[in-house]
Amino acid sequence: MKNVRVFYRKFGPCKYISHLDTNRVMIRAIGKSRLNIWRTEGFNQHAYITFALPLSLGFASECESMDFRVLDDDEDLSAIPARLNECLPEGIRVFRCAEAVYKPAAIDSAKYAVTLEPMNESEISNIELSEKWEAFLQLPEINVEKKTKKGMKTVDLKPYILAYEARQGEKVCFDLTLPAGSTLNINPNLLIQAFSDSIGTELYADITRVGIYTKEGEDFA
Amino acid sequence: MYPEKIEKLLLKVQKPGRYVGGEMGAVIKDKQDVDVRFAFCFPDTYEIGMSHLGIKILYSLFNEKPYIWCERVFAPWLDMEEQMRAHDIPLYALESGDPISDFDFIGFTLQYELSYSNILNMLSLGNIPVLSKDRHDLNHIVVAGGPCACNPEPITDFIDIFFLGDGEEVDLEVIELYRQCKKDGKSREEFLQLASQIKGVYVPSLYDVSYNDDGTVAAVTPKNGAPAVIEKRVMMNMDESYYPDNFVVPNIEIVHDRAVEEIFRGCIRGCRFCQAGFLYRPVREKSVECISKQCHALCQNTGYDEVSLSSLSSSDYTQVVPMLRELNSWAKPENVSLSLPSLRVDGFSDDILNEIKTVRKSGLTFAPEAGSQRLRNAINKNVFEDELMNTCRVAFEGGYTTVKLYFMIGLPTETMDDVADIPLLGKKVLDTFYSTPNRPKGKSPRVTVSASSFVPKPFTPFQWEPQDTMDVLREKQQHIKKTMAENHISPSKMSYNYHDSDTSYLEAVFARGDRRLNKVMYEAYKRGMHFDGWSDCFSLQAWFDVFEACGIDPSFYANRRRSFDEVLPWDHLDYGVSKAFLRRECERAYRSEASPNCREKCMGCGAMKYGGGVCYEKR
Ligand code: SF4
């Protein structure tokens, strides 16, 4: 038995598959692919899979991963992506399969490519939006209400912006790195919602997760 | 692919996965390569529509033809409709994202009367003129099939063509005719007239209906050479009938998310309240080999690990145990579980239990429909109390502790004593639990009793019967509660659910309505009514207001007893069962007399004329 991790992209219509439904889609794909993997016991037996870091509904991703155990130690891992892709909807594409290097707990941060635009184009121009966004980022503190296990809490998001890089484009585009993982996870929508509230304009954010990293800054592998 | 414009709106609505397509098994073609585009519309949500077998069969069947591209369309939920209307996004099909106004055919499946308002609403969301008379060119042919097509009179102003009976052949014949008419530059009228000559096709605009002074139908008169009687279509050889080897597999959870295999069509029983039991006569079975082959292909192509073996009454399949054994020969090693819904009380044998419980246990559900034997005889539901108790005992010994029992109230000939027998039957099930020596130890039993209101339907022996008024239905519901209390039945062991009688009332009006109800439908649509099958939207008062505005008395349709010689609004449609037979069955009901099923004795319903199925089995 080997612990195996597959990496996949999620995009297009598949952005709108919730985490729970992604789980079901994957179990069905594994069943269909006839991959020989470890299954749960009991009444409702099914392939046992886990996900290192859930993805929010509506986000695309370049770097999702899913773990399972193959029963045959000689299983050809390089053949697994093609076998799974045949059984998955177009918007989920597996591109790599390897033995897991890190434990999911090693995840420390994630990078998101974001494109911002007003929900209603006539409300504000891209240039004006871009200026307001730059100004917003210069604020000494960005306080938001965040849901925690102990109820609502005010947190300053500013220190959590681990890296920021504007990208060229007609619209407001940037890459943003935020804490991620099971202990502290900051959703980029928190920041965008705070910005939207501050300027009183409803925004649409196209968000793609482009990287997941360990504390040492290595790609989560 | 969904239209780009909706991307921004999707995160503002619940379950956006409903609106984006992109599933495994969805058929994508190049629209340049096809002659006919067919928008298959289900007038309810994605989760409900995607669970429906008929749409899966026809979707695959149509798409097998290189010249047809059939796509799926579902009713957007309220939040999405609001967004679409606010942003001028017309109703679109999930495969191409193109608006339904780009399509040649807009086809609806008529599963329940309360979805009619959604049909009108969907047409309007798609910018298709709602009234047939406002559609002029040879495109936007609005067609409809499914069980409610057996009395489509309340929606004849909106639908151009109804398909009666099994759709597998007739739909393709009409599509092929359309393609030819298009090539020949024929007009819409010419096409409709030619279509009316095809067996199983009802073009309502080719019929005039006249009325008597008392409001009943005087006559239905065909014109332009349309046939006086329209006969349903039947697929007689089920093994050779088309069945898909793949389904569109949804990415989001739907109501019935599994492979489905139809094991036979029709029902031998003839329960007098059940429309399906008469519409789909005669019973036609698939062979075990065919079922096994089709199921296996479906599981392999979809990745589903559960197959539901579907029919109106699974245990009436003649080869049920051999079938389960054959299926399990591959299903077990492949970790596929089998489920057998619609089991009859007397069909619940040890043998069956062994084959299905090996993989999964689901709760037990039975439908005695009536509490007393007298009333069960009258409705021809041949379930006997001792059988029910035996079956429950077997189930309890097998480790089950919960039993659900379904009943109807408001059945013809029902008395208050019959009603009181409903909870008393539930109590006997509880008693059976405690008298079963090998019952699960340390667990307490739970019985759920559900009662819905009876709706008289066309093509049943009760088609002439009045529906109980809502006051009477409420009184009967109260009587069940009272009986429970008087007999000290603990609510923790037996719970009682009843379905709202309001929706049943509207269903009763439209089920046996005539063409004058078109006006009501149209007014309701103009008032923005939709999703009447959902308690979120349904308001009976709003409907009463519409009836009043239209000057129509709904109780004429719901609560009136018809005489046996009245011309019924659907008399020009022929589903194989004769009016004389239905009348005989109704009279037997009045005498509380049950009838043998098709395998015991042929009652001469008329369906023998189709030349096959159960009518020709050796008895
Ligand atoms: S003709 Fe006889 S056997 Fe055939 S469906 Fe009717 S009652 Fe049943």
Model confidence over B471-503: pLDDT tens digits? 999 999 999 999 999 999 988 999 999 887 899
CATH number of the CATH domain containing A79: 3.30.70.580
Pocket probe for ligand 1: among B234, B584, B601, B615, the residue whose CB has the most ligand atoms within 8 Å is B615
Q: Which of B10, B17, B360 sits opposite A43 (nearest CB)?
A: B360
- Mean pLDDT of the region B87-95: 97
| Amino acid sitting at position B435 | S
Q: Domains in chain B, start-ordered, CATH in brackets? A: 4-231 (3.40.50.280), 237-359+576-619 (3.30.750.210), 361-499 (3.30.750.200)
Which chain A residue lies closest to B335 (C-alpha atoms)? A45
Atom of ligand 1 nearest to the CA of B597: 8
* Last residue within a domain, chosen from A40, A70, A100: A100
**Is residue B398's pLDDT more than 90?**
no
Alpha carbon nearest to ligand 1 atom 6, residue: B605
Cβ-based contacts under 8 A for chains A and B:
72
CA A214 vs CA A101, A106, A109, B159: distances in Å: 11, 5, 7, 61
Co-location of A92 and A112 in the same domain: no
Q: Do the Cβ atoms of A28 and B16 come within 8 Å?
A: no
Confidence band, pLDDT 50/70/90 cuts, at residue B337: confident
Co-location of A77 and A130 in the same domain: no
**Is residue B362's pLDDT more than 60?**
no
Q: Cα B351 to the chain's mean position, in Å?
A: 30
Q: Cα A149 to the chain's mean position, in Å?
A: 21
Q: Based on the structure, what is the number of domains in chain A?
A: 2
Co-location of A132 and A94 in the same domain: no
- Mean pLDDT of the region B92-98: 98
CA B97 vs CA A148, B6, B436, B490: distances in Å: 40, 10, 59, 54
Q: Do the Cβ atoms of A25 and B251 come within 8 Å?
A: yes
Proportion of chain B above pLDDT 90, given as a percent = 85
The edge-to-edge listing of strands for the beta sheet with B259-262 is B259-262, B306-310, B337-339
Query: In the prediction, which pLDDT does B322 show?
Result: 93
Q: Do the Cβ atoms of B10 and A28 come within 8 Å?
A: no
Co-location of A91 and A128 in the same domain: no
Average pLDDT of every residue of chain A? 93
Q: Which two tokens stand for residue B348?
A: 């619940």
DSSP letter, residue B553:
-
Residue A92 placed within a domain: yes
Co-location of A185 and A199 in the same domain: yes
Residue where the block lists tokens 């082959």 = B293
Co-location of A53 and A67 in the same domain: yes
Query: In the prediction, which pLDDT does B357 show?
Result: 53
Choose from A17, A88, A121, A208 for mutation: most chain B CBs within 10 A.
A17
Co-location of A54 and A124 in the same domain: no
Q: Are B1 and A13 in contact (CB under 8 A)?
A: yes
Residue where the block lists tokens 């609510």 = B491
**Is residue A147's pLDDT more than 50?**
yes
Co-location of A198 and A163 in the same domain: yes
The residues on B that touch A, with CB distances below 8 Å, are 1-2, 7-8, 10-11, 16-17, 19-24, 249, 251-253, 257, 300-305, 335, 360-361
* Last residue within a domain, chosen from A73, A100, A127: A100
Which pLDDT tens digit goes with each residue over A185-218?
999 999 999 999 999 999 999 999 999 999 999 9
Query: Chain B residues with CB inside 8 Å of A32's CB?
Result: 300-303
Confidence band, pLDDT 50/70/90 cuts, at residue B348: low
B308: three-class secondary structure by DSSP: strand
Residue A40 placed within a domain: yes
- Mean pLDDT of the region B389-417: 91
Query: In the prediction, which pLDDT does B242 show?
Result: 96
Residue A78 placed within a domain: yes
Residue A219 placed within a domain: no
pTM exceeds cut of 0.90: yes
Q: Are B58 and B242 in contact (CB under 8 A)?
A: no
Proportion of chain B above pLDDT 70, given as a percent = 97
Can you tell me the distance from the alpha carbon of B145 to that of B105, in angstroms, rounded to the nearest whole number? Answer: 13
| Amino acid sitting at position B358 | T
Can you tell me the distance from the alpha carbon of B22 to that of B200, in angstroms, rounded to the nearest whole number? Answer: 34
Co-location of A200 and A142 in the same domain: yes
Which pLDDT tens digit goes with each residue over A21-76?
999 999 999 989 989 888 887 666 678 899 999 999 999 999 999 999 999 888 89
| Cis bond upstream, residue B222 (ω within 30) | no
3-state secondary structure chain A: CEEEEEEEEECHHHHHCCHHHHHHHHHHHHHHHCCCECECCCCCCCECCEECCCCCCCCEEEEEEEEEEECCCCCCHHHHHHHHHCCCCCCEEEEEEEECCCCHHHEEEEEEEEEEEECCCCCCCHHHHHHHHHHHHHCCCCEEEEEECCEEEEEECHHHCCEEEEECCCCEEEEEEEECCCCCCCCHHHHHHHHHHHHCCCEEEEEEEEEEEECCCCECC
Residue A221 placed within a domain: no
Query: In the prediction, which pLDDT does B128 show?
Result: 98
- Mean pLDDT of the region B23-45: 97
- Residues spanned by the domain of A82: 2-100
Alpha carbon nearest to ligand 1 atom 3, residue: B615
User: How many Å lie between the centroid of ligand 1 and the Cα of residue B585?
Assistant: 13
Q: Do the Cβ atoms of A32 and B303 come within 8 Å?
A: yes
* Last residue within a domain, chosen from A56, A74, A100: A100
Co-location of A161 and A123 in the same domain: yes
Ligand 1 neighbours, Cβ below 6 Å, are B 281-282, 598, 602-605, 607-608, 614-615
Query: In the prediction, which pLDDT does B360 show?
Result: 41
Can you tell me the distance from the alpha carbon of B388 to that of B344, in angstroms, rounded to the nearest whole number? Answer: 9
Q: Cα B151 to the chain's mean position, in Å?
A: 13
Which pLDDT tens digit goes with each residue over B146-178?
999 999 999 999 999 999 999 999 999 999 999
Residue A62 placed within a domain: yes
What is the distance in angstroms between the Cα of A24 and the nearest Cα belonging to chain B?
A: 8
Confidence band, pLDDT 50/70/90 cuts, at residue B355: confident
Q: Do the Cβ atoms of B251 and A89 come within 8 Å?
A: yes
Q: Cα B516 to the chain's mean position, in Å?
A: 24
Average pLDDT of every residue of chain B? 94
For CA atoms B351, B356, B359, B360, give the dihedral sign.
negative
Co-location of A130 and A36 in the same domain: no
Pocket probe for ligand 1: among B267, B575, B605, B619, the residue whose CB has the most ligand atoms within 8 Å is B605
Query: In the prediction, which pLDDT does B358 show?
Result: 40
Pocket probe for ligand 1: among B272, B279, B281, B597, the residue whose CB has the most ligand atoms within 8 Å is B281
DSSP letter, residue B322:
H
The edge-to-edge listing of strands for the beta sheet with B494-498 is B364-369, B402-409, B446-453, B494-498
CATH number of the CATH domain containing A208: 3.30.70
Q: Do the Cβ atoms of B22 and A12 come within 8 Å?
A: yes
Q: Do the Cβ atoms of A13 and B251 come within 8 Å?
A: yes
CA atoms in the 13 A half-sphere facing the CB of B337 = 17
CA atoms in the 13 A half-sphere facing the CB of B490 = 7
Can you tell me the distance from the alpha carbon of B376 to that of B240, in angstroms, rounded to the nearest whole number? Answer: 37
Instruction: Name residue B71's beta-bridge partners.
Output: B39
Alpha carbon nearest to ligand 1 atom 2, residue: B602
Residue A76 placed within a domain: yes
Query: In the prediction, which pLDDT does B399 show?
Result: 82
Q: Which of B438, B408, B464, B457 is nearest to B589 (CA)?
A: B464
Can you tell me the distance from the alpha carbon of A36 to that of A34, in angstroms, rounded to the nearest whole number? Answer: 6
Which pLDDT tens digit goes with each residue over B271-323?
999 999 999 999 999 999 999 999 999 999 999 989 999 999 888 999 999 99
**Length of chain A in residues, anyone?**
221
Among A91-95, A123-127, B71-75, which is the least confidently predicted range?
A123-127
